[in-house]
């Protein structure tokens, strides 16, 4: 599983993630050590928290990367998610305008 990798990438502590999951740090730590397995409900919460698929979270990889986004796309998506809903609509409109002009 990629629990530790994702947690560190987000600069979170085990205690912070455990609190999010409403469990003790010790229990969560066992997931990272893979001495205990989280329930599917817990895995879903973690996948949603980190904005990744369950497959990615548990370490499954496929030969085709068609469904995965690159680092530049991830950065853009992260910024987009920080926008208010109103600004997301504006951003979508601006991107649409850019695409129209690009085709000219």
pLDDT at 77: 87
Q: Which CATH number fits domain 3-57: 1.20.1260.10, 1.10.260.40, 1.10.760.10, 3.90.70.10?
A: 1.10.260.40
2-20 pLDDT, tens digit each: 999 999 999 999 999 999 9
pLDDT in tens, 62-98: 544 445 678 888 888 889 999 999 999 999 899 889 9
Q: Is the pLDDT of residue 99 over 80?
A: yes
Q: Which residues contact 47 (CB under 8 A, 6 or more apart)?
A: 53, 54, 56, 57
Query: What are the residue boundaries of the structural domains of the chain, listed by start?
Result: 3-57, 71-102
Q: Are 32 and 42 in contact (CB under 8 A)?
A: no
């Amino acid at each position: 599983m990629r629990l530790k990798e994702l947690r560190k990438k987000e600069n979170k502590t085990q205690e912070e993630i455990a609190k999010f999951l409403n469990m003790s740090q010790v229990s969560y730590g066992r997931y990272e050590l893979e001495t205990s397995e989280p329930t599917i409900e817990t895995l879903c919460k973690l996948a949603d928290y980190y904005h990744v698929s369950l497959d990615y979270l548990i370490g499954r990889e496929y030969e085709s990367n068609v469904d995965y986004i690159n680092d530049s796309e991830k950065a853009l998506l992260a910024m987009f998610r920080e926008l208010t809903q109103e600004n997301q609509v504006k951003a979508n409109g601006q991107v649409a305008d850019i695409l129209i002009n690009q085709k000219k």
